[in-house]
């Protein structure tokens, strides 16, 4: 991962974001599972919510970060930043899936989709950088990312049930 200093900072920022996000969801999931276990109720619902929260939150951050970093630093740095954002949550995804009743295939597809999305968004950002002036590319990337975030949020009723 040899990159310029600002790019290294950007990569570290993505990794920190991924780690914080994974830690926050893990904390919420463990806390709600503990309460469910104390009450003798079903803990699988909380695991399913944690999985969906991880997919949604990482997807939303990736939409903004991947496009923008691709537009600023190029496709390679953008892709690596996306990977750094997604990877820290993998152990939490595995454990939460073990506690849920969700099927395995949709979650493998979702993780693969997120990884593919990271690469695609970075490449789109890099394409914008080549197509227009850098300042405009950053602006366009941010606007496009915001649109994607809104689409993910408002369209969650469409994709979330497929993962349940």
User: Is residue 157 at the binding interface for other proteins, with CB under 8 A as the rule?
Assistant: no
Binding-site size for other proteins (CB under 8 A) equals 37
Which candidate, 138, 23, 11, 150, places its Cα nearest to that of 85? Answer: 11
Distance CA 3, CA 15 (A): 15
Angle at 154 between CA 51 and CA 149, to 5 degrees: 75
CB nearer to other proteins: pick between 29 and 140: 29
For residues 123 and 133, the answer to whether their CB atoms sit within 8 Å is: no
Least distance between other proteins and beta carbon 63 (Å): 21
Tokens of 38: 């104390």
Q: Which of 57, 67, 77, 83 binds other proteins (CB under 8 A)?
A: 83
Q: Which residues sit at the interface with other proteins, rule CB under 8 A?
A: 1, 8, 11-12, 15-16, 19, 22-23, 26, 30, 33-34, 36-38, 40, 42-44, 47, 83-84, 87-95, 97-101
């Amino acid at each position: 991962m040899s990159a310029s200093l600002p790019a290294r900072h950007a990569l570290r920022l993505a990794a920190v974001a991924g780690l914080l996000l994974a830690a926050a969801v893990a904390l919420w999931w463990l806390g709600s599972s503990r309460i469910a276990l104390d009450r003798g109720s079903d803990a699988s619902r909380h695991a399913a919510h944690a999985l969906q929260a991880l997919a949604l939150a990482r997807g939303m951050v990736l939409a903004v970060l991947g496009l923008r970093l691709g537009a600023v630093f190029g496709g390679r740095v953008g892709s690596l930043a996306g990977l750094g954002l997604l990877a820290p949550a993998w152990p939490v995804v595995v454990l939460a899936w073990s506690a849920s009743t969700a099927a395995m295939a949709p979650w493998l597809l979702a993780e693969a989709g997120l990884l593919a999305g990271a690469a695609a968004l970075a490449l789109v950002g890099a394409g914008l950088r080549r197509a227009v002036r850098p300042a405009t590319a950053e602006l366009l990337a941010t606007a496009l990312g915001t649109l994607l975030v809104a689409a993910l949020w408002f369209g969650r009723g469409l994709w979330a049930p497929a993962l349940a």
